[in-house]
Structure 1
Amino acid sequence: MGDSSAVWRGRQHVPGQLSGLAVLCLVFIPYALGHYLSCLLRTVNALLAPQLMGAAALTPAELGLLTSAYFLAFAVAQLPVGLALDRYGPRRVQFAMLLLAAFGTLAFAGGNTFGQMLAARTLMGLGLAGCFMAAVKAVSTWISPTRLPSVQGYLIAAGGLGAASATLPVRLFLQFADWRWLFVCLALACAAVGLLIFLLAPTPPAVASKRFDLRVLWDVYRHPVFRETAGLVLIPHTIFFGVQGLWIGRWLTEVGRFPEQSVAWLLYLGMAAVIFGAISVGMVTEWAARRGIDAITVAAAGIALFVAVQIGIVLGWRPGMAQLSVLFTLVGTITGIEYTIVAQAMPPALTGRASTCLNLLIFTGAFMVQAGFGQVLGLWQPDAANHYPAAAYQAAFGVLVLLQLPGLAWFAWRRRRALPRNTVESAF
């Protein structure tokens, strides 16, 4: 009883001291709830796009910029948040950040102009920028390294559940209240989860942390595992985030001509597939490791499938549009594996900054993808219903496919080049 109350006061504990049930209830669930809200708020605009466009008379380019401001705020916050996580720990950092997110979400509920909504969306993104990093930092502290792929898969699944909640459940909510009340409720949820983390989460013992300078970031960026992982997975990850959070829904509406209810159902299936995909990625990665197959090879196979799905969209395979929309999110979950690969390769004092470096690149890229996709669509003229032609979406997806091919080719070339060398070494 005394030990439990000490945990509630945030007393320091040594990793391994807490039971598995305590880690689940005091570490995983509180931080997973934060990641859940982060993904819900990141993707909710995909369903609310018609309401938001009507509320502020937004163009596709403005809608893309408004939604992607979340990613830009994420990118800006990565360096200070990563430093704070390494120095002060995830418990205190998440409490403060989620309160900021609550304020931004509440401000978004009251926004009436593009400028007001853009500023509020930016604050929202700043406040939620540390949710996944804090969860990874906490889980990496309290979970053994051999279990990290599966547990981080569960974390990503929690995010998938948040994204799924931004579809049919949100549509159901809108039958009883408008979108502004939805954001009021989400603001209260952010504040509640922040308080839950502050009250429940244990504080790990302090570890030696390097003083910040550019050389610390350089140590992360030049790490061979980081560079190989980013070279293969980074661009697909930015595309997964940037497209599934907004443009998949618009593609189904404008090209597939699916009614709103069908779009909400397909988005729900796609986001629910993220849960299955994330758990499967963790299990497959551990299974492959036991057979001598490294995680980066698993990632390469998954990304090849992810690109194949996008090629199907570019080719305009209309009978399979519903299946392609679900497969995009199901297969795209493979991109989350890069966090596990990098976390396993870095020393504990650098795990926060390693996640920071990844997120800085990922969310900057996601901002560019989400905003740039709208700019490409704007090169075409909409019809009387303000729908853009299939050719516009095919062109935008085609650009994304071309951006991913060099990373796959580079990885294949490096592995093919290394294979003869390993064969020669094994002969001696």
Structure 2
Amino acid sequence: MAARVFFLFALGYFLSYFYRSANAVLAKDLSQELGLGPAELGFMTSLFYLAFAAAQLPLGGLLDRVGPRAVTPALLLVAALGSVVFGLAQSFAVLALGRALIGVGMAAALMGSMRAFSLWFPRNYATVSTLLVGLGATGGLMAATPLALLKEALGWRGVFLLGAFVVALVALALYLGVRNTPPGVAWPGGQRGDGLGEVFRNGRLLRVAFLAFAFAGSFLALQTLWAGDYAYHLGLTALEVGNLLFLYSGGAVLGFLVSGYLADRLGTARVLLASALLFALGLLLLLLKALVPAYALLGFFGAFNILTLTQARELVPSHLVGRGTTLVNLFGIGGTFLLQWGVGVAVEALGYALAFGGLLALLLLALGLYLPLLHKSSG
């Protein structure tokens, strides 16, 4: 039963990662067919994250009280509807609506899994959670070269219509195939009261949240749109772009898989700091157009941003795990929305060099604010 719970939640997160990443490969088709400029493309793609982020705080309370067995499949059906809307869209407004619905629908894929795993796998929570993220991140691999090939066979609209059917099947399988808790374990529910107030007053948690804003936001904004569009801008073919994104996403899968292991042995704060600095090096190499090492560093070390969620769980009491982790996830996904849109505006007005330079400066600022937490953790 535990293996089935893990597998079905991993399928849900796989789909979430696929959908968030798909527009990087489809950017050229969407721009040409619907006449989207960089700012419109960035805004439309980032709506996934705006909708995803807006759902996080109410989602945390729902997961603590109702449980992921009902919440996650219900939202996945919203994502399936969004996929249909996106695939049939003939205008920017309808395309944007579809993207936003997908974002709402995928909001519980990771957080629902983590809430369930806190009871199904309490003794090896960190290991199982990072394994889930690593396996789910293969959705980013599917949204690279395989998606480029599938798009050639079905067209981008066909990809989204087929995807809607797959998402609905996974939603049904989750509802029928999992339980909130292992047999014999009662669902604890969630305390009402001032839970959100407690997490917002936690200064250490807010430092982690701002690091998630800059680190996770930059990682996902690049992976799910601008790393692909930048490669197209440099004159690469669709297959060459797909291969670079495959390198980025493949590195991310490896990074997710080893991040928890390293954090358990070296300390979460130390590993977060080191990985964010190496991600910053990747941004610098991207500016220098050293694409292969840049995409490899950005993918592998960018994946370590997931440790902000692990650290969030360490900084809140057990009855606030859902709300504490969704707060940090709100900052990370909200950062993706703002940075993905902001890069589009900056590229249109100033060019890629200043846009990516802005991401680098923001990450260094976040690391500066995070350093006191590193010293406390070391002590």
TM-score band, normalised by shorter chain: over 0.9
Matched, 1:328 2:298: yes
Q: Kindly provide the CA deviation profile for residues 276-319 of structure 1, in whole angstroms up to 9, marking residues without a partner as x.
A: 1111111212232xxxxx211111111111112112223x2x3x
User: Which residue is 1:267 aligned to?
Assistant: 245
Matched, 1:347 2:313: no
Q: Which residues of 2 match residues 283-294 of structure 1 at below 5 A?
A: 283-288=261-266, 294=267
Matched, 1:311 2:290: no
Equivalent residues of 2:282, 2:293 under 8 A apart = no
Q: Which residues of 2 match residues 241-280 of structure 1 at below 5 A?
A: 241-255=220-234, 257-280=235-258
C-alpha distance in 1, partners of 2:177/2:328? 28
SS in 1 for 2:49: helix
Aligned residues, how many? 375
Q: 1:92 to 1:262 in 2, by over 3 A?
A: same
* 1:166 positional shift: 0.5
Q: Kindly provide the CA deviation profile for residues 192-249 of structure 1, in whole angstroms up to 9, marking residues without a partner as x.
A: 111111111013222142225xx32121123354234224443111111112110001
Q: Structure 1 residue aligned with 2:275, among 296, 302, 307? A: 302
Q: Which residues of 2 match residues 16-27 of structure 1 at below 5 A?
A: 22-25=1-4, 27=5
Equivalent residues of 2:278, 2:297 under 8 A apart = no
User: Which residue is 1:386 aligned to?
Assistant: none
C-alpha distance in 1, partners of 2:254/2:94? 37
Q: Kindly provide the CA deviation profile for residues 337-385 of structure 1, in whole angstroms up to 9, marking residues without a partner as x.
A: 11112123433322211222112222221111000000001115xxxxx
SS in 1 for 2:349: coil
C-alpha distance in 2, partners of 1:116/1:226? 37
User: Which residue is 2:133 aligned to?
Assistant: 156
Equivalent residues of 2:269, 2:373 under 8 A apart = no
Matched, 1:125 2:103: yes
C-alpha distance in 2, partners of 1:418/1:87? 31
Equivalent residues of 1:232, 1:300 under 8 A apart = no
Matched, 1:192 2:162: no
- Code of the residue aligned with 2:25 in structure 1: it is L
Moved more, 262-271 or 405-414: 405-414
C-alpha distance in 2, partners of 1:186/1:111? 15
Pairwise CA RMSD: 1.8
Q: Which residues of 2 match residues 57-76 of structure 1 at below 5 A?
A: 57-76=35-54
Q: Kindly provide the CA deviation profile for residues 15-56 of structure 1, in whole angstroms up to 9, marking residues without a partner as x.
A: xxxxxxx2122x111111111101100010000011111221
- Code of the residue aligned with 1:261 in structure 2: it is L
* 1:161 positional shift: 0.2
Matched, 1:360 2:330: yes
C-alpha distance in 1, partners of 2:307/2:377? 22
What TM-score do the two structures reach when normalised by structure 1? 0.84
* 1:412 positional shift: 3.4
User: Which residue is 1:17 aligned to?
Assistant: none
Q: Kindly provide the CA deviation profile for residues 147-182 of structure 1, in whole angstroms up to 9, marking residues without a partner as x.
A: 222212112112320011011111221232111111
Matched, 1:370 2:349: no
What TM-score do the two structures reach when normalised by structure 2? 0.94
C-alpha distance in 1, partners of 2:155/2:373? 53
C-alpha distance in 1, partners of 2:377/2:271? 17
- Structure 1: 5+ residue stretches without partners: 1-21, 289-293, 381-391, 423-428
Q: Structure 2 residue aligned with 1:400, among 345, 359, 369? A: 359
- Structure 2: 5+ residue stretches without partners: none
Q: Structure 2 residue aligned with 1:236, among 197, 215, 220? A: 215
* 1:417 positional shift: 8.6
* 1:122 positional shift: 0.8
Equivalent residues of 1:34, 1:131 under 8 A apart = yes
Q: 1:66 to 1:228 in 2, by over 3 A?
A: closer
Q: 1:117 to 1:281 in 2, by over 3 A?
A: same
* 1:142 positional shift: 1.0
Q: Kindly provide the CA deviation profile for residues 73-94 of structure 1, in whole angstroms up to 9, marking residues without a partner as x.
A: 0011112222211111000001
Q: 1:108 to 1:141 in 2, by over 3 A?
A: same
Q: Kindly provide the CA deviation profile for residues 317-348 of structure 1, in whole angstroms up to 9, marking residues without a partner as x.
A: x3x21221222111100101111121234333
User: Which residue is 1:211 aligned to?
Assistant: 192
The percent identity for this pair of structures is 30
Q: 1:23 to 1:344 in 2, by over 3 A?
A: farther
C-alpha distance in 1, partners of 2:30/2:272? 36
Matched, 1:28 2:9: no
- Code of the residue aligned with 2:280 in structure 1: it is V
- Code of the residue aligned with 2:126 in structure 1: it is P
Equivalent residues of 1:157, 1:275 under 8 A apart = yes
Q: 1:329 to 1:59 in 2, by over 3 A?
A: same
When Rg is computed on C-alpha atoms for both structures, the one with the higher figure is 1
SS in 2 for 1:178: helix
